[in-house]
Amino acid sequence: MTVEVTTLPSGLRVVTHAMPELETASVGFWVGAGARDERGDEHGLSHLIEHMAFKGTRARDARAIVEEIESAGGDLNAATSVEFTTYNARVLGGDAPMVIDILSDILTDSVFDEAELAREKGVITQEIGEVNDTPDDLVFDLFGEAAYPDQAIGRPILGTPARVKAFKKADILAYLDRHYAAPAAVVAAAGAVDHKTIVEAASRNFSALSGKAATPREKARYEGGDARVTRKLEQTQIVVGFESVGFGHKDAYAAHVFANIAGGGMSSRLFQEVREKRGLAYSIDSFQWSYADTGLFGFCAAAAHGDVAELCDVALDCVAQCAADLTEAELRRAKAQMKVSLLTALESAGARADQMARQLMALGHVPTRAEIVEKIDALTIEGVRAAGVAALKTPPTVAALGQAKKAPGPERVKSRVG
């Protein structure tokens, strides 16, 4: 595995993974700033900036940006998450420097035209409306706000229509000045790439990025809670969760394995008990989300209104029992699934570039495949059970949408897993 990392004098890190068997490359810019880095009056601004980055620079208008990429057969994309914002493209390997040129242009020299800004606010307002019309998305927004009340980390990434409509160009520029600095960013490339070429292109094109230190984040304060919205739906959406661990925590791998055993596939305890044996839901899944300094473990499902209470009781019993008596066979299966996920990322240039960038920002280095496999293999039943027990001891978070009164409250959840 040929992974190379170079830190430029500005603090910008460049990481590449040459994959000789490929002819295409995935190239992108990752910045360690997302929804949780917004101040109270900036809710939704990270996502708006991601949209506005493609709306024109002094050198290129919005159409020229996409035409230049697509004329080379590539595609350009971006995404905003809780802790990161990503701008990336997939092209033939020889066009990687062109991607870096375009990315640097949109990220350091966008004009943020007022007419384009007004139009994009309308687009995002429609996007917010789509989420509000999609129950299985909206319930997770409710869940996040209940888990981390009155904090940016718990707020919906898209913002609110009123807040988005109020943003001005000055708000965008202030946010960029505070967060889009070289030490907080990574240029990552994987596939048919040459490290020296990528470093030279990044050094040449991103020279305008500030070298000042990244703005420190407010520490997350998980509290747990109860969020429910009554709405006329065919099913009730339910999410139940607990606080877990962050990226760099010593138990991070154990927490992911515990979530996988509990509800990570068709052979998992939740799927077998809730779907296969009792038919209480079409699907039920567990999750383990890790952030820099906190994490969330839980499960989600949709059920007929009359089955919600039973589904939750059965699921909570499954999770609690899993923490008490998971088996060697389950542990072996979960380890194998984690290794396959790792290898799958190594087989895709896009997934590999994203993985490297996030690892570099979250951990400060890119672990080798051997290092990760060694950590997975070292997991024990006792360690994985302990990770599950630790999560289940935290205050529960419950979010429900539909006939929300059918869902158990945090106190019932706590007593069920206690």
Q: What positions carry a catalytic annotation?
A: 50
Q: Specify the DSSP class assigned to residue 115.
A: H
Q: What is the DSSP letter of 211?
A: -
Using alpha carbons, list the distances in angstroms from residue 241 to 155, 298, 312, 395, 410.
16, 4, 11, 9, 10
Q: Judge contact between 78 and 88, C-beta under 8 A.
A: yes
What contacts 384, CB < 8 A, 6 or more positions away? 254, 257, 258, 261, 326, 331, 334
Listed residue (172, 175, 147, 141) closest to 159, CA to CA? 141
8-state DSSP, 68: H
Q: How far apart are CA 46 and CA 8, in angstroms?
A: 25
Q: Calculate ∠ Cα 260-266-268, nearest 5°.
A: 40
Q: Where are the beta strands (DSSP E) in 345-416?
A: 397-402
Q: Please list the residues that pair with 242 across neighbouring strands.
A: 297
Strands annotated E in 283-394:
284-290, 295-303
